[in-house]
Amino acid sequence: MRKKLVYGLCFLSMVLMLSLPAFSVAAEGTIKLGVTEPLSGTFKDIGERYLDGVLYAAQVINESGGLLGKKVEVVPIDSELKPDVATRKAQSLILKDGVKFFCGGTGSSVGAAMAQLAEKQNAIMYTYGMDAASMTGEKCNKNFFRPGGSTDGRSFALAQLVVKMGYKKIAIIGQDYSFGHEALSAFKKRIAQISPSTKIVCELYHPAGTKDFAPYVSQIIAAKPDAIFTPNWGNDLTLLLKQGRPMGMKQKIFDYYINDEVTIQGLGNDSLIIGSMGAEIWTISMPTKKNEVFVAKFYKEKKRWPSYCAGKAYTATMFWAEAVKKAGSTDIAAVIKAWEGLSFDGPAGVWTMRAGDHQGQVPYWYTEIVAKNKYFKHAFETPRGMATAKSVEVPLAETGCKMK
């Protein structure tokens, strides 16, 4: 026991040391990119997979001569998923090391705080994974960019898919906080616009981190839907499937983040998830030439497949690099100006940065989970077409964004 204790204490102190902000010596001639992700705690695995993508983008940029002739240096920042921690660490990087560019993908509250910091300190923050629509809506500001998806885009894409497949009675269930509410209301809005005959037969909100889904599942079953829509992720998706399927909830599930290999592995039973469909801004199976090249190169070098987190972070970071290249300098005002309206033809199709709200206009790629795939032994995705950026566009006037 004592030996174990010693090991444990050593480990603890190591963790504590690692979570201190990384102080890097300000090397001349590099462009620093701070990555705010939870690199410890419960959501560590998501943070690490996002960081993986940013690191790989930096590697690709540096291998091809760098950015404006300088190397891109990635500075990981453990946000601990806390807005105050992320901004405190970022602030010190801005002041001590002159870091001007930041990105991150986990936790809309972290993103909102980082966006404010960026505005105050004349830096740029961009996100590839924080999806709350309000971030480029009411809360938008000129130093914040989202080369990525939003709850609006995802919900619109899935609503269009559900209607196209002919489902008429839909049950919708989401987490009871801003993210879940934004996702479900966007879904309802789109359904009402494109197919008034499609009915929402059941609308449920559960607390994030619900342990017993049975009372929710019984209500879904009682409403007799022919399809289910949910923006749930992580454990809330796992338990909905794990507890719902044995109770007779057999309907096809349309979910935001279905192609998450960690979630599928964590289910441990492929039959629970096969047939479910999702919409993402980057998926490993997108049949574009550039994506095939990226995925193959990534696999060849790392002997593992890029996760959807890595793919999104990679693509968004390449887009950011395009903006810096176009600006011809790292001057923040110049980069903001260059990024506005810029189009980037990357692995996930053409992404365009709308000037009015800094929301990337991006296509969404549909996937379905099937048993046989070339990536994993467990069930994984296969491509099922896409929704064009135009088809899921939210008119600027409806976003609520007033950029100063």
Strand pairing class (364-370; 380-387): antiparallel
Is residue 42 near other proteins by the rule CB under 8 A? yes
* Identity of the residue, 42 or 193, whose beta carbon is nearer to other proteins in the bound complex: 42
**Could you tell me which stretch among 86-94, 140-148, 242-250, 306-314 binds other proteins (CB under 8 A)?**
242-250
Mask 205-224, x = binds other proteins (CB under 8 A)?
A: xxx-x-xx-xxx-xx--x--
Does 268 help bind other proteins (rule: CB under 8 A)?
Answer: yes
Restricted to residues 43-82, the positions that interact with other proteins (CB under 8 A) are 44-45
Determine if 4 is a binding residue for other proteins (CB under 8 A): yes
8 Å CB contact between 171 and 220: yes
Q: How far apart are the C-alpha atoms of 150 and 42, rounded to whole Å?
A: 23
Pair 72, 31: CB distance under 8 Å: yes
To other proteins, the closest distance from the beta carbon of 198 in angstroms equals 23
**Pairwise CA distance, residues 65 & 301, whole Å:** 19
Of 65 and 248, the one with the shorter C-beta distance to other proteins is: 248
Q: Is 235 in the site for other proteins (CB under 8 A)?
A: yes
Q: Does 350 bind other proteins (CB under 8 A)?
A: no
Is residue 185 a contact point for other proteins (CB under 8 A)? Answer: no
CB of 18 to other proteins, least distance (A): 12
Nearer to other proteins, 161 or 272 (CB): 272
Q: How far is the CB of 172 from other proteins (least distance, A)?
A: 13
Contact call for residues 61 and 324 (beta carbons, < 8 A): no
Give the residue, chosen from 58, 99, 114, 204, that forms a contact with other proteins under the rule CB under 8 A. 204
Residue 106 near other proteins by CB under 8 A: no
Closer to other proteins at the Cβ: 212 or 301?
212
Distance CA 301, CA 87 (A): 34
- What radius of gyration do the chain's Cα atoms show? 21
Of residues 224 and 297, the one with the C-beta less far from other proteins: 224
For other proteins, which stretch binds (CB under 8 A), given 157-165, 184-192, 201-209, 297-305? Answer: 201-209
- Comparing CB distances to other proteins, the nearer of 9 and 95 is 9
Count of residues of this chain found to bind other proteins when the rule CB under 8 A is applied: 42
* Phi, psi values for residue 344, rounded to 5°: -130, 120
Contact stretch for other proteins (CB under 8 A) within 107-115, 204-212, 281-289, 343-351: 204-212
Positions touching other proteins (CB under 8 A) are 1-2, 4-5, 7-9, 11-12, 15, 42, 44-45, 176, 204-207, 209, 211-212, 214-216, 218-219, 222, 235, 238-239, 242-243, 246-248, 262-263, 265-269
